[in-house]
Amino acid sequence: MPASAPATPPPGAARSAAPTDLVVFGGTGDLAMRKLLPALLLCEKDGRLAPTTRIVAVSRDGIGDADYRGKAEAAVADNPSVLRAGAVPAPVLRRFLERLHHVPLDLDEPGDGWDRLRALLDAAPGGDAGRGRVYYLAMPPMLFGRICADLEANGLAGGESRVVLEKPLGRDLESAREINDAVGAVFSERRTFRIDHYLGKETVQNLLALRFANMFLEPVWNSRWIDHVQITAAETVGVGTRHGYYDRSGAMRDMVQNHLLQLLCLIAMEPPSSFDREAVRDEKVKVLQSLAPLAGEEALRHTARGQYSAGSQGGREVPGYTGEPGADGASSTETFVALEAAVANWRWAGVPFYLRTGKRMARRYSEIVVQFRGVPHPIFPGQGAAPSPNRLVIRLQPEETIRLHMLAKEPGAGELRLRPAPLELSLSDSFAVRSPDAYERLLMDVMNGDPTLFMRRDEVEAAWRWVDPVIGAWQGTDPEPYAPGGTGPQGAHDLLARSGRAWHEGEMTR
Ligand code: BG6
């Protein structure tokens, strides 16, 4: 994989969105302020928003457009994604802020809130044949059905309007079905976009390109050549101000049920017949349906869960999970999960998929490690058979790299000695363009009506079907405490050590 690819933009990066009214319920909330507005500003900066596109925030706050624009300006000013992308020229910022509107609407006491929203939407700038409308529900999932019903009752859900649902969709299979039924009564599946922002990450899409645009991997992409797969999403942050939400979720519902299982799908799926919305999602759902069920004692044996304690991280004292703002005493919610999953089909029989995610870890990084088997008969001095040096490491963040670890001969005329030497594709070095943030990509896709990178109903439900018995098995057990700034609880290491394996921590502890 030489770093000599032509400097063309990544697919989709320069795509513009159709003229749209993007209505964000929860428009003053954390997600809108930290992710959606910054992503939209970056789309603006790249000239990807249609001139008449408007962003309409809906929230209980009794503020007008001017105050909302002020809030938005403050939120984007110190946003890390915006800062990373370089200075925003003043006219760009002004144009962006002018697109923003705020409609106060309390769902319990709407007053004339719905009428005001309708009036604003009806007053859309003219001249846009096929102007789109997107409702982004950045709200707790138990409100999804109700908001959709209210939209319909107020005559706002017709035509080609679409709805975007944030994850996690429910808290188990039953609630997910109820939500899907309630949303589905108003918006057809074609108009429903279930977002999982991991699917919008550039390297995740590159994983599809790597697997299905290159010939050399496919023959070795199976249990004959691959020993196991590791998928890690480690964060340095704690739950911060999200304790209220998080304590009802835990890492399994917050990260594994969606982000990590989606990554597993992309690694394990069969080649789709085309890069078509249904073909790709058909293959992903088959992987979820092939996951060997984990329940009861077996679930306990194949999982480790932890909760971070108070301690020192990066030279400063940090509270434990139960000492975070909003916490009230003991909690058995996990902030770390490691588990071993099995994809029970011909390709993957016998290949463990180890998944792990945690907060307050030593470093923030997400990566997939595909560990190949060792050579059958080592011939070089000092060369063992296992673990094999051959690993494909797909780094999603913070860097976007794909690295193939090999052994090569150490230069010199002396005794032949081997040394690890990675072949590396650095996406930022190879392509001289900024990688769009996941939400930029996905917001563009939803405005253009492309659901390929969104989760279909059957995918979400298949994921819950597998996750529910694991969570069930944990009932009455306590998570293992782990120190902040480390590699998680001992149980996670024991999980792999039992089969003579270890987590790939190389880049993490460097
Ligand atoms: C969100 C979770 O979906 O993903 C958060 O709710 C988590 O708890 C976040 O912090 C991680 O996303 P990223 O893109 O920073 O890896």
The structural domains of the chain, with segments of one domain joined by +, span 20-197, 199-436+458-497
Tens-digit pLDDT profile for residues 16-64: 888 999 999 999 999 999 999 999 999 999 999 999 999 999 999 999 9
For residue 220, report the distance from its CA to the centre of ligand 1, in Å: 32
> What pLDDT, on a 0 to 100 scale, did the predictor assign at position 420?
84
254 Cα: distance to centroid of ligand 1 (angstroms): 8
Tell me the residue type at 477: T
- Using CA positions, which residue lies closest to atom 10 of ligand 1? 235
Ligand 1: residue of 235, 245, 367 to mutate (most ligand atoms within 8 A of CB) is 235
Going by alpha carbons, the residue nearest to atom 2 of ligand 1 is 254
**Do the strands 226-234 and 303-308 form a parallel or antiparallel pair, or are they unpaired?**
unpaired
Q: What is the DSSP string of 268-296?
A: HPPPPSSS-HHHHHHHHHHHHHHBPP--H
Give me the chain's average pLDDT, please.
92
pLDDT at position 454 is 96
Q: Ligand 1, closest atom to CA 239?
A: 8
pLDDT beyond 90 at 130? no
pLDDT tens sequence across 316-342: 999 999 999 999 889 999 999 999 999
Per-residue pLDDT band for 276 (boundaries 50, 70, 90) equals: confident
List, for residues 406-465, the tens digit of each pLDDT value.
Answer: 988 888 888 888 888 889 888 777 777 788 889 999 999 999 999 999 999 999 999 999
DSSP alpha helix (H) spans, 197-313: 202-212, 243-251, 261-268, 277-290, 296-301
Tell which atom from ligand 1 comes closest to the C-alpha of 233: 16
Residue 11 has a pLDDT of 43
- The total of other beta-carbon atoms located within 10 Å of residue 30's CB is 14
- Using CB atoms within 10 Å of the CB of residue 165, give its burial: 0 to 12 exposed, 13 to 18 middle, 19+ buried: buried
**Residue 305: strand pairing partners:** 337
331 lines ligand 1 (CB under 6 A): no
In this predicted structure, what is the pLDDT of residue 385? 62
What pLDDT was estimated at residue 252?
Answer: 98
Q: Is the CB of 357 within 6 Å of ligand 1?
A: no
* 242, 259, 321, best to mutate for ligand 1 pocket (most atoms within 8 Å of CB): 259
- CATH 3.40.50.720 for the 20-197 domain, yes or no: yes
Q: Which CATH number is associated with domain 199-436+458-497?
A: 3.30.360.10
Does 259 qualify as catalytic in the annotation?
Answer: yes
Closest among 166, 105, 176 to 140, alpha carbons compared: 166
Residue 91 vs residue 126, higher pLDDT: 91
- Is 429 annotated as a binding-site member? no
Other C-beta atoms within 10 Å of 153: how many?
11
How many C-beta atoms lie closer than 10 Å to residue 223's C-beta? 16
Residue 142 pLDDT > 50:
yes
User: Residue 3: pLDDT above 60?
Assistant: no
Among the listed residues 228, 259, 302, 405, the single catalytic one is 259
H-run or E-run covering 340: strand 336-342
Nearest alpha-carbon partner for 341 in 295, 389, 387: 295
Query: What pLDDT score does 128 carry?
Result: 66
Helix, strand, or coil (residue 391) = strand
- Alpha-carbon distance of 319 to 310, in angstroms, equals 4
Is 107 labelled as part of a ligand binding site?
yes
Has residue 291 got a pLDDT over 90?
yes
Q: Could you read off the pLDDT of 448-507 as tens digits, one per residue?
A: 999 999 999 999 999 999 999 999 999 999 999 999 999 999 999 999 999 999 999 855
Span from the CA of 441 to the centroid of ligand 1 (angstroms): 16
For range 295-306, the mean pLDDT? 97
E strands in 293-335: 303-308, 311-313, 316-318
